[in-house]
Amino acid sequence: MNEQNGILRYDMQDIDRIPVRRPGANKGDYGHVLVIAGSKGMCGAAFFAALAAYRTGAGLVRIFTPEDNRNVLQTLIPEAITDTYDPSEASEGKEAWKNRIADLLEWADAVILGPGLGRNEYVRSLTENVLSTAYVPLIIDADGLNTIAEYPYLTNYYTENIIITPHVGEMARLTGKEIRDISADLYAAADGYRNTYGVTCVLKSDRSIIAANDGKTYETVSGSAALAKAGSGDILTGMIAGMLCLGFEQGEAASFASFLHGLAGREAAKRFSEHGILARDIADAIPSVMRR
């Protein structure tokens, strides 16, 4: 790792930070990831996040998603536990629903909230229940962030265990600022949000800025245009969860996952070209990058 003007950047020598798998370990030793993601017709986001968490080293992944997605997800990733719900459960907000959320969160060592959730009314209730109950690292992406932007009172539930992963457009919605102003000074945008709310902010752009809640700021320059594909952000979210399961602290998990994500995109592009890669190719390249 090198530092310049207070900004930390990983380099290839930092691959050694990845811990060796312990002899005699079992899946419980490498963490439980809960993926709260997907909506009708959008189960791919849940799949990508779950796949990336597994590829990065998580021991067990559980997907919590609408019933419509069960058959597809059990076919795409049978290694994951698939729990489903009827969206009307969330919208009604009954005590049984809240207890179910609490039980799932208690099971988890890291939680992903948001990929492909959609913008239906029940998503607000689901997001509020998770934010108010989670006491483990919570990675919020995509429609989780869009819901918070639409209902700003939800920031009242922010705690230091939260990692947000907005791209520039989502950051604009969260802050009410113009995209051009955020793009003009990514450092100020990421650091400002971290300083205001005490969360870890992963601001995604052509070079991503990670403002960790421990006060450190990282820059990721390993990315490439190959990552400009649908599902790429879901892969990063899953990778952050996987890094947490390997024992990384939140800021380091977010920044190191971002670094590896860029390398995985480059690795996949060698095989399929920058134009031709798919999100699953990025996930499948993670082990090759980690093996270095």
Other Cβ atoms within 10 Å of 149 Cβ, number: 18
CB 250 within 8 A of CB 212: yes
pTM of the model: 0.97
Q: Mean pLDDT in each 10-residue stretch from start to end of the chain (292 residues)?
A: 92 91 88 97 96 98 97 97 90 82 97 96 93 97 98 97 98 97 97 98 96 97 93 98 97 98 96 96 96 84
CB 231 within 8 A of CB 116: no
Q: What is the pLDDT of residues 52-80, one digit of tens each?
A: 999 999 999 999 999 999 999 999 999 99
* pLDDT reported for residue 88: 84
Give the sheet arrangement for strand 217-220, strand by strand. 2-4, 7-9, 217-220, 208-211, 200-203, 162-164, 138-140, 110-113, 32-36, 60-66, 81-85
* pLDDT reported for residue 127: 96
Strands (E), 144-274: 162-164, 200-203, 208-211, 217-220
For the chain, how many residues are written?
292
Q: State the DSSP string of 163-198.
A: EE--BHHHHHHHHT--HHHHHHTHHHHHHHHHHHH-
* pLDDT reported for residue 24: 85
* pLDDT reported for residue 117: 96
* pLDDT reported for residue 184: 97
Q: What is the pLDDT of residues 163-174, one digit of tens each?
A: 999 999 999 999
Domains of the chain: 26-259 (3.40.1190.20)
* pLDDT reported for residue 292: 80
**Three-class DSSP category at 112:** strand
